[in-house]
Structures are given as structure tokens and as C-alpha cells.
Amino acid sequence: MTIDTNHISKVFDAQAATALRLRSSTANERIAKIRRLRDAVIAHTEDWYHAAYLDFKKPQGEVDLAEILPVCMEANDAIRNLKKWMKPTHVWPTLLTLGMRSHVQHTPRGRCLIVGPFNYPVNLTLGPLVSAIAAGNTAILKPSELTPHLSGLICKVVREVFTEDEVAIFEGEAEVSQALLALPFDHIFFTGSPTIGKYVMGAAAKNLASVTLELGGKSPTIIDETANLKLAATNVMWAKFANAGQTCIAPDYVFVHENVKDAWLACCREQLIKAYGTTLEAQKSSPHLAHIVNGRHTKRIKALLDDAQAQGARTITGGGASEGDCFIQPTLLDQVSPTSRIMEEEIFGPLLPVISYSNLDEVIAHINEGPKPLALYIYSRSNAHIDKVLTQTVSGGACVNHALMQFLQGNLPFGGINNSGIGNAHGHYGFKAFSHERGVVRTQFSFAATLFSAGEVPGMIRQAIKSAFKIL
């Protein structure tokens, strides 16, 4: 595929004038655009279903819950609250700024690049776009080439709603992303793996562009001896195997207390049979299970499974694969070697290692030995255990007695830390991610204006400074 770098550059240049004009755009103007985008997304509901099925047989229920609904929630939140978000935030004067007024003004960052992933392409491309528009920016989108039908539909929707000088979109392979990343954007919002995130951050550094990186990692789950086992089984099986495990905040491995491990696994098997059937053929044709996005990723996940089994892992349930259909069974593994690849790499597929434990301190130590995860889940009825885990570990987000819900709670910041991401998204936090918080001081009367002038610092100011030293 030939990359039209001239067209990309022309669009980028055209957005410069638009970005300047949008600095003075009103809340009502931005809300109108967000409403048009939301309505276009809803109008194409049946098209989203069809495209998602063609790309990786994603069930309609998952398209509703994890693609369309989050974009609409993001849009509705901005429509309701944008006028409040845009208002200057007044702050109290300090000792040295008495007689002056200060406030924080949220200004648009300017021209923004949004690079979307393949696993939830609608949600994780158009959701950030809502925030970019709310903050008054222009945007160029790069959807994933791994989901061509969904990406093509995203292009159609964006072009129905916007002109290229405000929101543009370019499809293509990695070369298109590279061409875009070479441009001096003001902000880059990237969702993907930590490996590619490092490349994106390096490209941004060349232009000193700010970044929001929504990455991933190995998100742990803890099920202690006090947990509601049926609840934990139902939640974890859904959270892990939705979208065939291709979810950045899916449980990556589970620690289960040795006293309840067998009982919990029995609940898990019962839940999997009830939800998806028992045989490879039944599960492959299940309307409730997505497939892997392509053959390359299927081979990668199958290689993780083969390596774990070669190092002694026991298959509790599942383990089958149909590489030609890009399908791998929901699989639970026991007795997994800590040196196997599945315990070192983010799985991003329907494989779940289960590890027994007896001492919670050892679990916490294991979590803290690795990179900080994007999510952490604990199932427990013990407030002492819950508080201990939340206090002694670090993660981007966390859930207690549930999973994935930190993403759907739009009033919370969503983001990682270090290896699992930089910055936050969603709601007001997404608006702030695409805004610059400018500090403004306004002098109110002439006396204040003369406090700091050429020559000697006034005696009263010198005395105030000395008093401040004493306070410190």
C-alpha cells in the first residue's frame, strides 16, 4: 500500500489554522460536534455488529457493552458537564500574591494524534476523540489495520461528521503510523502494548509532545480464603474470556488460596460449561465467544500454551485450538512454571494460569517484583486483606470483588503507571488529558501592581518573606 505522505502533511498543516480558531470555541459548539458523533455511532449500530463479526466474530452483546456504550457514555458525560469543565478554576492567593486573583484556565493542546488498538477499536479510538473535541482540539486518527472492517466503518463515521481540517483519519499499516508520529503534534494519545508505547514516547520526545499512553501488562487477581467463590468464578471467567482474553485489563493470572482452590476451580468449570459448552466445536461456534484477531496472534498464544505445557503445566479445562479458525478454547492452567513464557509475557488471549498460595505476603511480594500492572483484582470478605493489598501494591486501577468495572466507571481516572501507561482518560480526566492547565494571575488594584518593582523590595514584603521562612 502506497503511503500518501503529501496528503498527510497537507491535512496536518490545514489543521494548524483550525486549531487556532478552536481555542476560542464555545462549550455549545463543542457539544454540538460531540452530539453529532454520538448520534452517528448509534445510527450505525447494525453496521458495527456486522463489522465486528467479520473481523473476529465478536458477539453483539460485547459490541454493545464494550464498544458502543462506552463511546455514548463518554459523549453524554461531556455533553452534560463540559460547560462546568471549561470554567476557570479560581485558587486562593498566597502570602506574596495578596491583592491579586489567580485561576487555572483549560486551554486546548492543539493538534492531537490518536492511535487506536485492534481489541476495542471503536471504544478506544472514538472515546479519546470525544475528549479531544471536548477540550477544543483538532485530531488525526489512526485506527488499527488488524480490524479492517471496523476501521473502515470508523473512517466512514468520522468522515460523515467532520471535515479533514478538524478531524481526519488515515488507515494503513505501521508505515502510516510512523509517518504520523514524525509530525510535530501537540499531544499523542496511544493505546497498545508497552513495547510500542516506548516507540511512541520516543517519537513524541523528538518534538517534546505530551503523551497519554494506555498500555497493558500482567494484571494479577487474588482470591483469598474468605472470598465468595461463586461470585469470584463468575466475574473472573467473564472478565478473562470476554473478547477471547484480548483485553488490556483482563486478569492475566490468578492467585487462589490453597484452602479454596479446588472449590473455586469447580465453580469455574461449571461457569464455563454453562456459558460456552464443553467441546472445541461447541465453543468455536458459540455466539458468546469472540475469536483471535488473526493467525499471527493465534500462533503466538498457542506457542505460550505449548511452552507452559512443555514445562509441566496441567490443563484443568480447555487447551484445544483451531488455528485455521483463529480460535483457542478458554483454558485454565495449573502447576505453571514461573519460568514459562506465559508467566513472563502479557497473554492477551484466553489462557489463565492459576497459582495456589498460602501466605498473602508472598503474593504481594510477587506482584511488587514485576512491572506495575494496569489492573489489580482482589476477591475477599476480609477488610484487612483488602486494605493490605491495596496499600502495599501499586497498579493503574483496581477492583474489589469485581473485575473490569474500573473502566466502565466513567467518573474515575483510567490509566496505567510506568510500564502500564502514562496519564489518564475518561470523563473530566480525559478532558484534562487533552487540555493544558494554564495558571493565570490578575492584578486587581494599583497597590498590588507596585509590590514588585525595580529597585529595593518593599520592607513589608521583606518582612512577609521572613515570616514565611519562620513558618517553614
Known catalytic residues are: 214, 248
Helix (H) or strand (E) holding 104: strand 100-108
CA distance linking residue 455 with residue 84, whole number of Å: 43
CA distance linking residue 182 with residue 202, whole number of Å: 10
Return the DSSP state at 291: P
Q: Taking CA 425 as the corner, what is the angle to CA 424 and CA 427, rounded to the nearest 5 degrees?
A: 130
Residue 45 zone, left/alpha/beta (φ > 0; ψ -120 to 50; rest):
alpha
Return the DSSP state at 425: B
CA distance linking residue 387 with residue 400, whole number of Å: 10
Cell output for 289: 465467544
Cell numbers 492543539 correspond to 110
Residue 87 zone, left/alpha/beta (φ > 0; ψ -120 to 50; rest):
beta
Angle, to 10 degrees, between the axis of helix 5-22 and the axis of helix 174-181? 50
In 3D, which of 32, 244, 12, 43 has the Cα closest to residue 136? 32
Return the DSSP state at 457: P
Output phi, psi for 33, to 5 deg: -70, -40
Q: 270: buried, middle or exposed (CB in 10 Å: 19+, 13-18, 0-12)?
A: middle
* Alpha-helical regions (H) of 257-359: 261-276, 280-284, 295-310
CA distance linking residue 382 with residue 370, whole number of Å: 25
In 3D, which of 43, 345, 126, 36 has the Cα closest to residue 217? 345
Query: Residue 282 forms beta bridges with which residues?
Result: none
CA distance linking residue 240 with residue 390, whole number of Å: 21
